[in-house]
Amino acid sequence: MIREATSSDFDTIWSIFRLVVSTGTSYVYSPTTTKDAAYDIWMERPLKTYVYLDDHGSITGTYYIKENRPDLGSHICRCGFMVHPDAHRQGIGEAMCSHALAIAPTLGFRGMQLSYVVSTNHASVNLWLKMGFQQVGRVPNAFQHQSLGDVDILIMHKSLTN
């Protein structure tokens, strides 16, 4: 089940956020991001934040949706997705992406752009391709991967009007 997040969900979201960014391999946020900064990033800035609940009602994934850019770029959204490391390969990312693709047009968005997909994060790249995103750009050496050094990031897009 996916539902809109509440502030009371944040302690669990924070635990997922902390685990995901601590690796320094898939998200631009510093491994030392504070809880207050993470709350701002994940709960305050987005238009909406959602959580994925497993069969036991535990939060195992989360995502946000917001406009990619203001004003004349506000018809394109962007999302950030995180899944608890213990819950990988269970279809949670795909379920949240499907949810985001369904919700986005109801919020007035006509496209979705994933602006900072780490090229070495093969699970994410493959998921976004499976979900119908196209790679529309590549920025060389734009991500400081914790163990591989500088690696490319991909810019991916999916139209929501076709």
Architecture of the domain defined by 2-159 = 3-Layer(aba) Sandwich (3.40)
Phi and psi torsions of 41, nearest 5°: -60, -45
pLDDT, position 60: 97
pLDDT, position 137: 96
Q: 65 - beta bridge partners?
A: 48, 79
pLDDT, position 152: 97
- Reported as half-sphere exposure (CB side, CA atoms, 13 A), residue 43 has a value of 18
Nearest to 63 by CA among 41, 88, 90: 41
Q: What pTM value is reported for the model?
A: 0.94
pLDDT, position 87: 87
pLDDT, position 3: 97
The Cα-based distances of 52 to 48, 83, 110 in angstroms read 14, 9, 24
pLDDT, position 131: 96
Identify the sign of the CA torsion 159, 97, 141, 144. Answer: positive
The stretches in the chain having pLDDT less than 50 are none
Using CB atoms within 10 Å of the CB of residue 80, give its burial: 0 to 12 exposed, 13 to 18 middle, 19+ buried: buried
User: CA angle, corner 91, sides to 87 and 96, nearest 5?
Assistant: 100
